[in-house]
Amino acid sequence: MHLIRAGAVVLDGKLCRPGWVQIAGWQIFTCGSGNPPRPPDQDFPDCIVAPGFIDMHVHGGGGASYVDAENIGGAADFHLSHGTTTTMASLVTTSPDKLLAGVRALADATRDGTLAGIHLEGPWLSTARCGAHDPVHMRDPDPAEIDELLAAADGAIRMVTLAPERPGSGEAIRRLREAGVVVAVGHTDATYELTRQAIALGATVGTHLFNAMPPLNHREPGAALALLEHPDVTVELIADGVHMHPAMALAAMRAAGADRVALITDAIAAAGCADGSYQLGGVAIDVESGVARVHATTTIAGSTATMDQLFRTAAAQAGLEAAVRMTSATPARALGLQQVGELRAGYDANLVVLNRDLRVTAVMKRGHWR
């Protein structure tokens, strides 16, 4: 048994001062508020212990990308150092053979515990809202391709983003839901009504709300409002100050509530690295002053953010307890992940230790300090 005490611990979504967590192997054995039942093995008197962050949409970091099989561990380790103990690896639009190879590599990394699963962001997206995705490889959902990818993943695909206006998307949503895959609406030009139809079929996530979809319009509210207003939909936000104005991010947090907002990085390999030239799939990316854009355009191409950065921003805007939910319990629930996202008995011992400035001082994943 390993007993940790801290000046504050987030338990059951509430900040307890002080608090403690007892670890047995890779799980939390018990935890509580106040002083612990015995002297602690480790004491963090001036720190906050919170659940490890969960990033449900990330393409890479630390110079490594999830599209490169040999770099998967490097990208996951980079984000782990910033408090992300549960990572969903996102793949961008590419050719059928490259997508299949990417899924197979990430499925292996999911089986060995490096990742929590795969997110397919494409290729069944809108060319009108392609963002940093290569429109050459965008295509309509094909049942045979979906079945081949699901078979190759062997349960590792947890989420798929698609555009519901694509022919065949309705059947794709049904097939993916039958396979236990979370369906997200994103990179879409769909109307408000069509988006509501996709939700009725089983879509439960809005991929980076407001980005790569029509802006809110009082006569044509579009996908954004349909996703934001539906009580069964979790909306992703890239609250980095680049993808959306801070006031719009706060408005979305207030409208949906912390139990329906999942903060995501959408980070690419450039996260944690110097400005320069990078790749996102087959698309050339330029990073200048920390902002990633498609080469020679103004189109934003993912981010260079980390979850601890987004956590600090959200805590300042919406409060610490809300920031904890938006970076842990809410994404866990949206993805159907078990035994992660909270500090409670029987859950994985995934936690992050933050100092008074909410900077990461230590990270534990499944009972092991990083």
Distances (CA, A) of 286 to 67, 227, 239, 276, 280: 18, 31, 21, 6, 10
> Of residues 134, 189, 266, 308, which has the active-site annotation?
266
Decide if 262 contacts 330 (C-beta within 8 A).
yes
Reference 235, options 252, 217, 214; nearest CA is 252
Q: What are phi and psi of 27, to 5 degrees?
A: -120, 160
Decide if 183 contacts 129 (C-beta within 8 A).
no
Decide if 186 contacts 213 (C-beta within 8 A).
yes
Angle at the Cα of 289 (from 283 to 291), degrees rounded to 5? Answer: 40
Distance (Å, whole) CA 252 – CA 246: 10
Residue 108 appears among annotated catalytic residues? no
Q: What are the residue numbers of the active site?
A: 266
